[in-house]
Amino acid sequence: MSASVFDLSGKVALVTGANTGIGQGIAVALAKAGADIVLTARRDPAETRQMVEAEGVRAHVIMADLSSIEPCQRIVDEAVETFGKVDILVNNAGIIRREDALDFSEEDWDAVMDVNLKVLFFLSQAVARHMVGWASQDGPRGKIINIASMLTFQGGIRVPSYTASKSGVGGLTKLMANEWATKGINANAIAPGYIATNNTTALQADENRNRQILERIPEGRWGDPADIGGAAVFLASSAADYVQGHILAVDGGWLAR
């Protein structure tokens, strides 16, 4: 297989939650593959923008709070107005709240479900409505990549709304594939393992939990956001045109043990 199937030159990728962590790692990887990048974040992703532009591609920043669906259509409209289209959507933005299930609040439930599941769906819907205007099964294809989790497969501890939302991401990814495959859109997900980001700071700082996590990972280390980049490039590229509704675990072997 030629390396050119992984070439994203001329493509436009919209990455949410792009200011740090996994979102930054994915944005830079897609830029290295040649895609122009639309960076969406609540806080200015200046560092990510600099890293993207250092790869010789274009970057555009859209500031948006994805705690509600209000900015979804605006994001798509501005991305299309700026770069002419959106070929790739990476739904990376997400939050987590930790508390025992017996004490978990409705506020924390709603906050996580809104960002991780509701907004993910409605932003995907807005992008898919744009994609069906030009995508086709035998021509250029649109790519939607959702960020799932190990908790798409497992129950977790003290994160009930996060577990529910990431289980839902797995289901929605399959639903999108079922409905949109014939329209020229690939919908898949990446399930990162334990990645060293701000979302996992509490776990890394917990000596007992950190030890337990590392003991289970065959690779013996926390993942780096860059470890997710290769999977994103694959799913965004023509090499994955026949991959639909799949949840790709990038976990250092966590699920294998």
Kindly list the structural domains of the chain, giving each domain's residue range(s) and its CATH number in brackets, ordered by start: 7-193+225-250 (3.40.50.720)
Q: Please confirm, yes or no, whether 242 is among the known catalytic residues.
A: no
Distance CA 159, CA 8 (A): 36
Question: In this structure, how many other beta carbons lie within 10 angstroms of the beta carbon of residue 204?
Answer: 15
Q: What is the mean pLDDT of the chain?
A: 96
**Tokens at residue 35, please?**
């895609």
Q: Would you say residue 230 has pLDDT above 60?
A: yes
The answer to pTM > 0.85 is yes
- Nearest 5°: the CA angle 10, 87, 173 is 145
Query: By CB neighbour count within 10 A (0-12 exposed, 13-18 middle, 19+ buried), where does 6 fall?
Result: middle
d(CA 92, CA 26): 9
Give pLDDT tens digits for 15-73.
999 999 999 999 999 999 999 999 999 999 999 999 999 999 999 999 999 999 999 99
Give me the catalytic one of 162, 180, 194, 234.
Answer: 162
